[in-house]
Structure 1
Amino acid sequence: MRLWIGLYLPRLPLEVFCPNWSDEQCAVVLEHERAVALSPQARAAGVRLGMRRGGVLMLAPQARLHERAAAREAEALQAVAMALLHYTPLVAAAEEATLLMDVGASLRLFGGVRALCRRIDASVRALGFSAALACAPTARGAWLLARADAGRALTMASMARRLDRLPGALLPPARPYLDWFEGIGCLTLGQMRGLPRPGLQRRCGGALLAMLDGAHGQTAELFEWIVAPASFRARLELFDRVENADALLFGARRLLLQMTGWLCARQCAVERVSLLLEHERGREARPPTLLDIALAEPTWRDEHLLRLLRERLAQLSLAAPVIGLCLEALQVQPMAPASASLFPEPGGSPQERQRLFELLVARLGPENVLKAAPRADYRPEEANAWVPLRGGAGGPAAQAQLPADVLSMPRPSWLLAKPVALLMRGHRPFYGSPLKMASAPERIEAGWWSQAQARDYFIAEGQDHAHYWVYRERIGGAGEQAEPRWYLHGLFG
């Protein structure tokens, strides 16, 4: 099924300057001293499109005026297109702040056209823009329906009915001849199609007929697709001085949406990203603050990255106000395919566990989330160390460092930080009750020079049937004649 989505951003000139504008803000964008975009409050004050600067200030003295910036609008449209690459690799820029998406191959993946449209609309709103979405079997049909905010048409017949009711002024080639069309009573696209083609071509040129034919699927449509660059680096200039780190999350999310779209288009997953917080320039210039996030498991989804950034920003104290953000993907690798297992793994997948570890590190700090690092040492208190997690937990590679014979011996689940000296009663060690040896001795002799240890370890059982790990210290030079000293070193579960 061939289906196109047209995405028209009618308030792009205004939202470029005011991404978080609200109904309480009175803002007007001017081009050649005439208003081309208005906020709802400016319209309520009586300002109209095409009004000159003086008239705007007379009706709304409190209005914030902005000069239209075509370059910034193009950058914003490119940012939206980059985020939309998450849904399809076939995204093209069209006339008048409109994007076209060929989503025929994406419908099943995202749960149908309605679910896909909802997700696209949510992504655009998260970027700080508002859009009118329309669907049609042809690209030009989707463009016209989006420009008129005329809804979805999934078949050629329903699209033709909707297009015939649209005003002819939507077609750019028809605008110079609107007076002539109005004079002959031709106001809609359907009425234009009913005119004799040779006469319409002689008067208005071939561009008008080509656009009408393309909208109805009678001619081939060719587009220049937006291509994701080889590397990702995106910058966002903030519109105010931000002094609270939590307030930066909105801008960071806009950059993350662009990066995840880029990752999907390149079929890559990111391992390490950096977020630069740019401070004020000039005499009080400061170097940017760097947030470096290293991932144990490469990802291409923005939800996990957004959670990590939220935790990092919540712990950050800004040394100076922030005026800009810059996000860069430092390390990427090819995207791994999804697991093909029929049944879910108990306790979650390894990817879910890694995401949990990364979230704990971001929330608690790397010094408070540790992992076991076994050492090749026979002494129990030296056989392990706790080191920062660094995004992952100890695995088979770390366990392989232990001697093979130690791995086969029983070890307690709880090893005391310092051995506890035991009393002797009736020539038997005592811990709440006399202890009875329940295993053969295991002799451990290890260490160098002053750190040398010589011990005989036993599994002991008390009268309550609890099991303990105890050892008898061997005293050098005294042999078996010296009184043995017993210690408790661990508890079995």
Structure 2
Amino acid sequence: MALSKHASAAGVQLGMRSGSVQMLLPEAMLRQYDSEQEQASLQRVATTLLQYSPQVAAAGPASLLMNIGASLRLFGGVRQLRRCVLNSMALLGISATLSYAPNAAAAGLLAHAANAYGRRGLYCLNPMRLSRRLDPLALSLLPAATPWRDWLQGIACHDLKSLRQLPRAGIQRRCGKDLLSQLDYAYGVATELHQWLEVPAEFIARIELPERIEQAEALLNYANALLQQLSGWLRAKQLAVSQIQLELEHERGRLAVAPSQLTITLAEASWQAEHLARLLKERLAQLSLTTPVMALRLHAMQLVAMQAPSASLFPEPSGSPQQQHRLLELLVARLGADQVLQTLPQADYRPEVANHWIAAIPSQPKARATAQLPHAPTAMMNRPSWLLAEPIPLELRQHRPYYRGALSILSPPERIEAGWWNGQLVTRDYFIAENSEHLRCWIYHERISVAQHTGQQDADAVWYLHGWFG
């Protein structure tokens, strides 16, 4: 059915018996042909190709057809598109022969001819030159000519050009309509209809590993194949994924081990396999396997509609929102979700409770309403860049608060009274102050202080440092 270049150089040919192959090449490795595995591989490749064109169809044994007419401008031309397809095939572990032509049948003939000649592909995009490209091809490339090969060779008909020169009426009476139909499809005389691939409603892909893998980082190459399929499925459905789950399957049978699950949550939904692979690489680098992995299973957990790219003429100096979200996702994958936090404002005037820290990328993202702060004067917005976890008591020197030198008050007081509803009343007058080193800080004075509650007379002594300005 198929052979490597090394076997071909040793004289092995298609259709040989196993004994003849062993005689010519004793070290040859023979594998049993598995049609089901071949169909599964074709299905994986077809799903992957959906990221380059929405129209992909089967075109015979071990062959796929892709309509790229609407994709050339998007990917920057046929050469760039061909390079992208070859990169995806390499990630899938598939060696492919690529050819393109103005119609599907001609592209298929060129691909099979290139495969027979040992070339990577034959190409023709100009319809005016298509006949000159197809005429020298062997007649055996037409599937409908196989039953009549001996008869056609007997009348010196070896290529497509000589077949076209024969009387059509006589060929139809002798060989039927299929041979002429395939010839007309190839030369663009007739239009061929195709059954395009229909993708399933849910994406779940699984791949068997060729051997037991004990290092987590070695799983990335096989996971890339699943991510390529996911990218094609998302493009076909016009969706983006915000959470994926990679399941690592271990031993089965009597020594069965429950599968391990690796969940990746994104700050912004994406459909690009390269970005997902980068996040997965960071997670696998931190994973230690206790038992070998035998198979991988990828599931798209949370899906959203695909958003159109930004059409802004002038890019933002700090990068696009997509770039900022990708950086955030990369930091979470490398440092952990508990090390990357974001603020969640609370509707409270007290500085120590006006903000709550939450995970930058929640494991279960859900819509939440942003807290609406009450209307406040402009002076209230003058908050320090660094708020201390606990206020620091200040000493008084000559009736002035002191911290690394005497503090000079620069602003009128800003009064905050809140917390009476939960028994944590604060009554403070905040000031912006500056020390002898010209560092500005945020201090406050307790109006109803602990000293007053305890009966002390010097209530003005209760001053606190609460933050520093940048």
Q: Which residue of 2 aligns with 1:468?
A: 441
Q: Which residue of 1 aligns with 2:213?
A: 242
After alignment, is 418-427 or 280-289 more displaced? 418-427
Q: Which residue of 1 aligns with 2:462?
A: 485
Question: Residues 9-408 of structure 1: matches in 2 within 5 Å?
Answer: 36-149=1-114, 151-390=122-361, 400-405=371-376
Task: Supply the distance in 2 between the matched residues of 1:358 and 1:107 (Cα, whole angstroms).
Answer: 31
Task: Supply the distance in 2 between the matched residues of 1:166 and 1:43 (Cα, whole angstroms).
Answer: 22
- Give 1:73 deviation, angstroms: 0.6
Q: Is the 8 A contact 2:347 2:371 kept in 1?
A: no
Q: Which amino acid aligns with 2:298?
A: L
Give the alignment's TM-score, normalised by structure 1.
Answer: 0.86
Deviations 1:71-90 (A, max 9, x none): 11111111111111111111
Task: Supply the distance in 1 between the matched residues of 2:436 and 2:256 (Cα, whole angstroms).
Answer: 73
- Does 1:458 pair with 2:435? no
- Give 1:333 deviation, angstroms: 2.2
Q: Is the 8 A contact 2:394 2:402 kept in 1?
A: yes
After alignment, is 452-461 or 214-223 more displaced? 452-461
Local SS of the residue matching 2:310 = coil
Task: Supply the distance in 1 between the matched residues of 2:169 and 2:458 (Cα, whole angstroms).
Answer: 122
Change (3 A) 1:221 1:468: same
Q: Is the 8 A contact 1:373 1:398 kept in 2?
A: no
Q: Which residue of 2 aligns with 1:430?
A: 402
After alignment, is 428-437 or 106-115 more displaced? 428-437
Identity of aligned residues (%): 54
Task: Supply the distance in 2 between the matched residues of 1:154 and 1:361 (Cα, whole angstroms).
Answer: 46
- Give 1:323 deviation, angstroms: 1.0
Q: Is the 8 A contact 2:65 2:104 kept in 1?
A: yes
Q: Which residue of 1 aligns with 2:117?
A: none
Task: Supply the distance in 2 between the matched residues of 1:100 and 1:416 (Cα, whole angstroms).
Answer: 64
Q: Which amino acid aligns with 2:341?
A: L
Q: Which amino acid aligns with 2:5?
A: P
Query: 1 or 2, which has the higher strand percentage?
Result: 1
Task: Supply the distance in 2 between the matched residues of 1:193 and 1:44 (Cα, whole angstroms).
Answer: 35
Q: Which amino acid aligns with 1:419?
A: P
- Does 1:418 pair with 2:390? yes
Q: Which amino acid aligns with 2:464?
A: Y
Q: Which residue of 1 aligns with 2:118?
A: none
- Give 1:418 deviation, angstroms: 2.6
- Give 1:203 deviation, angstroms: 2.4
Local SS of the residue matching 1:330 = strand
Task: Supply the distance in 2 between the matched residues of 1:299 and 1:415 (Cα, whole angstroms).
Answer: 35
Q: Which amino acid aligns with 1:130?
A: S
Local SS of the residue matching 1:136 = coil
Q: Is the 8 A contact 2:206 2:298 kept in 1?
A: yes
Q: Which residue of 2 aligns with 1:17?
A: none
- Give 1:479 deviation, angstroms: 7.8
- Give 1:482 deviation, angstroms: 3.6
Q: Which amino acid aligns with 2:276?
A: L
Local SS of the residue matching 2:30 = strand
- Give 1:262 deviation, angstroms: 1.0
Local SS of the residue matching 2:253 = coil
- Give 1:43 deviation, angstroms: 3.6
- Give 1:374 deviation, angstroms: 2.8
- Give 1:157 deviation, angstroms: 2.5
Give the alignment's TM-score, normalised by structure 2.
Answer: 0.90
Task: Supply the distance in 1 between the matched residues of 2:137 and 2:426 (Cα, whole angstroms).
Answer: 91
- Give 1:243 deviation, angstroms: 0.9
- Give 1:199 deviation, angstroms: 2.0
- Give 1:59 deviation, angstroms: 4.0
Task: Supply the distance in 2 between the matched residues of 1:389 and 1:276 (Cα, whole angstroms).
Answer: 24
Q: Is the 8 A contact 2:395 2:461 kept in 1?
A: no
- Give 1:444 deviation, angstroms: 3.2
Q: Which residue of 2 aligns with 1:13?
A: none
Structure 1: state its 5+ residue gaps: 1-35
Q: Is the 8 A contact 1:134 1:142 kept in 2?
A: yes
After alignment, is 57-66 or 397-406 more displaced? 397-406
Change (3 A) 1:398 1:203: closer
- Give 1:208 deviation, angstroms: 1.0
Task: Supply the distance in 1 between the matched residues of 2:209 and 2:215 (Cα, whole angstroms).
Answer: 13
Q: Which amino acid aligns with 2:463?
A: W
What RMSD in Å do the two structures reach over aligned CA positions? 2.4
Task: Supply the distance in 1 between the matched residues of 2:204 and 2:432 (Cα, whole angstroms).
Answer: 60
Task: Supply the distance in 2 between the matched residues of 1:354 and 1:259 (Cα, whole angstroms).
Answer: 20
After alignment, is 143-152 or 158-167 more displaced? 143-152
Task: Supply the distance in 1 between the matched residues of 2:303 and 2:203 (Cα, whole angstroms).
Answer: 10
Q: Is the 8 A contact 2:283 2:334 kept in 1?
A: yes
